[in-house]
Amino acid sequence: MQSWSRYFIPTLKESPSDAEIPSHKLLIRAGLARKLSGGLYTYMPLGLRVMQKISRICREEMERAGCIELSMPHLHPAELWADGPRWGPVREIMFRADSAGEGKRAPREPEFVLGPTHEEVITPLIKQEITSYRDLPKSFYQIGTKFRNEIRPRFGLMRAREFVMMDAYTFDATDESATASYLAIKGAYEAFFRRLGVQAISVEADTGVMGGSFSHEFMVPAEVGDDDLFYNEESGYAANREKARSALVPAGFAVAPPGAPLEEFPTPGIVTIAGLAAFPGGAPAEAQFKTLIYVGDGKPFAVVLRGCDDLEEAKLGALGFALVRPATPEEIEPVMGAKPGSLGTVKGTIKNPAALAGIFADEAIKLVGNGTTGANQDGVHYRHVSVTRDLEVTRFGDFRRVKAGEPDPLGGRPLQVRRGIEVGHIFKLGTKYSERIDAGYTDDKKERHLFVMGCYGIGISRTLQAVIEQSHDADGIVWPWAVAPFQVLVTLLDPQDAAALEIATKLAAAAEKGGADVLLDDRAERPGVKFKDADLIGIPLRLTVGGRGIKEGIVEMKWRGSPEAIRVPLNESEATVEAVVRARA
């Protein structure tokens, strides 16, 4: 049992001006954390208790899934990353930690970096330690601090520069076994979030910088989330925006046969989809082809979409380039022959087609029977463009961003969309990673193979705040039982009243016996202040002792989430409290 008067819970009436979202405000107001600087927070005693509880549940579920705990350094030799596969995309977010003034290396090359994640450390380790199929499969995890120089740290612990992550890595001999390891950890994640008492939806996700064969994100639905999830409850389909597909183009859709002959027409000054839609003799966005030029690993390529669709850049990952970016107008004109605004891929109109690494068309352009597109001459377009007859296409694919209401790819029911906070991510990496450093094992015939890997992360500190975001009301936090810093709060109305103190102490002991962590509010404060603080810090079960209650022979028992208090007769109160707590614990 902790007594509030001796403990340290610095609650605040006002939230700091930089706190924009409810969970960030409550994090500070309830005394769970304090800001040191942008994206850097001290976990105050109450916040630390929650972190420890979340970590403990996470540990239990990872162990249950067969994962083994270890702990790797936070400081990494920079070479480890510079020689690895991700230096390009991740160096921007890595903090450098140079030892001062040695003058041995060029000033721009860091000696050490602070670890943003640990694939680069564990893969060489396991390469060195595991050489035989007999030692596979193996799964490892750790819970520790990660460092990322986020461009825009915000929302408190949600996007911090230093944060706590559970990261796990699996090593298997075969693809089948790697899938089993992946599913075991997916199960551990599901159990973990269920036990915390938060709703987290697993969605298909893009593999991004990690590459690999498939991936799921765990999302806590919340208005303030950074991601969109598309889902249909009935079919069970769920994917994040980057990965979401729809059945907009039905399977086996037959493209309309070509109609009228291709016709060139002048469009002076028209450089946008909307402009062409409003132009006399133009065409609505749905009947336009939009041609975008990107650069993949140094070579330009074209993407063709319907005028009404948006490109989902993450889907360009399917093209296999390591680095992709939009082309500049200066890069576009020499290749296409026109400035952006009059681009198209009608056969024979591209100025230097050999310069293109390909023309990739979104499936949905098949829905356009009779389209309009740029002629690769400034101020000129074509109408009556047929996808099959007129357009140059290297290959079709899914490149567009889906929209809410489109048919879901599993059953054709309308896709719904909502915002979500990414709290966890799992990747099946395959051999992409082990190949880079030739990490493998020998089988029973003494033949060598690469490890089939998976990697996994849960944002422990982000989850802490996501719980608050999902579980609060106008008065404060409403902690789910499993992660509450204390589960029972005994509020003593008058700490000077010796009889009440004795009852309160007994009730606290009974709650502890039932399995709760108990906080006794014995501060010399007015009851109003105590009740306000109690609601703010959100302890699930509050027992109020003193005042009129004692005269009437009762103790008041109140759940944080419910408006009604229950009057428990004094002589039954210890047994009742113990039983109520035991039923929850």
> Using CB under 6 A, which of 86, 425, 558, 560 touches ligand ATP?
425
Rule CB under 6 A: say whether 313 interacts with ligand ATP. Answer: no
Polymer length in residues for the chain: 585
Rule CB under 6 A: say whether 422 interacts with ligand ATP. Answer: yes
CB of 177 to ligand ATP, least distance (A): 23
CB of 550 to Mg ion, least distance (A): 54
Side-chain half-sphere exposure of 518, counting CA atoms within 13 A: 23
In whole angstroms, what is the distance from residue 319 CA to residue 271 CA? 28
Buried b (16+ CB within 10 A) or exposed e, 135-162: ebbbbbbbbbebbbeeeebbbbbbbbbb
In whole angstroms, what is the distance from residue 84 CA to residue 189 CA? 28
Of 89, 67, 236, which is closest to residue 148 (Cα–Cα)? 89
Looking at the Cβ atoms of 422 and 556, the one nearer to Mg ion is 422
Residue nearest to ligand ATP (CB): 459
How far the first Cα of the chain sits from its last, in Å, is 16
CB of 425 to Mg ion, least distance (A): 4
CB of 458 to Mg ion, least distance (A): 11
CB of 148 to ligand ATP, least distance (A): 5
> Using CB under 6 A, which of 364, 380, 385, 423 touches ligand ATP?
423
Candidate segments 273-281, 289-297, 459-467, 476-484, binder of ligand ATP by CB under 6 A = 459-467
In whole angstroms, what is the distance from residue 577 CA to residue 238 CA? 42
Rule CB under 6 A: say whether 216 interacts with ligand ATP. Answer: no
Number of residues that bind Mg ion (CB under 5 A): 1
118 touches which of Mg ion, ligand ATP, none (CB within 5 to 8 A by kind)? none
Q: Mark out the alpha helices in 327-367 (DSSP H runs).
A: 329-336
Of 521, 257, 535, 541, which is closest to residue 389 (Cα–Cα)? 257
Q: Is 550 helix (H, G, I), strand (E, B) or coil?
A: helix
Binders of Mg ion among residues 321 to 380 (CB under 5 A) are: none
Dihedral sign, Cα of residue 344, residue 347, residue 350, residue 353: positive
Candidate segments 23-31, 236-244, 458-466, 486-494, binder of ligand ATP by CB under 6 A = 458-466
In whole angstroms, what is the distance from residue 47 CA to residue 33 CA? 6
In whole angstroms, what is the distance from residue 474 CA to residue 468 CA? 12
Rule CB under 6 A: say whether 159 interacts with ligand ATP. Answer: yes
Number of residues that bind ligand ATP (CB under 6 A): 15
Rule CB under 6 A: say whether 148 interacts with ligand ATP. Answer: yes
Rule CB under 5 A: say whether 425 interacts with Mg ion. Answer: yes
Candidate segments 248-256, 381-389, 420-428, 532-540, binder of Mg ion by CB under 5 A = 420-428
159 touches which of Mg ion, ligand ATP, none (CB within 5 to 8 A by kind)? ligand ATP
Binders of Mg ion among residues 161 to 180 (CB under 5 A) are: none
CB 10 within 8 A of CB 44: yes
In whole angstroms, what is the distance from residue 23 CA to residue 44 CA? 16
CB 157 within 8 A of CB 208: no
In whole angstroms, what is the distance from residue 206 CA to residue 242 CA? 6
> Using CB under 6 A, which of 33, 165, 244, 510 touches ligand ATP?
165
Rule CB under 5 A: say whether 118 interacts with Mg ion. Answer: no
482 touches which of ligand ATP, Mg ion, none (CB within 5 to 8 A by kind)? none
Looking at the Cβ atoms of 118 and 425, the one nearer to Mg ion is 425
CB of 425 to ligand ATP, least distance (A): 4
Measured between alpha carbons, how far is residue 302 from residues 46, 192, 353 in Å? 54, 44, 10
150 touches which of ligand ATP, Mg ion, none (CB within 5 to 8 A by kind)? ligand ATP
Candidate segments 168-176, 400-408, 434-442, 454-462, binder of ligand ATP by CB under 6 A = 454-462
| Residue 407 burial (CB count, 10 A) | 18
Side-chain half-sphere exposure of 428, counting CA atoms within 13 A: 21
Rule CB under 6 A: say whether 424 interacts with ligand ATP. Answer: yes
Say which residue the tokens 């469009």 belong to: 267
Rule CB under 5 A: say whether 186 interacts with Mg ion. Answer: no
> Using CB under 6 A, which of 60, 98, 111, 150 touches ligand ATP?
150
163 touches which of ligand ATP, Mg ion, none (CB within 5 to 8 A by kind)? ligand ATP
> Using CB under 6 A, which of 81, 112, 140, 163 touches ligand ATP?
163
CB of 51 to ligand ATP, least distance (A): 12
495 touches which of Mg ion, ligand ATP, none (CB within 5 to 8 A by kind)? none
Rule CB under 6 A: say whether 245 interacts with ligand ATP. Answer: no
Identify the helix (H) or strand (E) that includes residue 232: strand 227-232
Tokens found for residue 210: 């990690």
As to burial, measured by CB atoms within 10 angstroms (0-12 exposed, 13-18 middle, 19+ buried), residue 329 is exposed
As to burial, measured by CB atoms within 10 angstroms (0-12 exposed, 13-18 middle, 19+ buried), residue 1 is middle
Rule CB under 6 A: say whether 168 interacts with ligand ATP. Answer: no
Binders of ligand ATP among residues 80 to 139 (CB under 6 A) are: 117
Helices 460-470 and 45-64, interaxial angle, to 10°?
Answer: 110
Binding-site ranges for ligand ATP (CB under 6 A): 117, 148, 150, 159-160, 163, 165, 422-425, 457, 459, 461-462
Binding-site ranges for Mg ion (CB under 5 A): 425
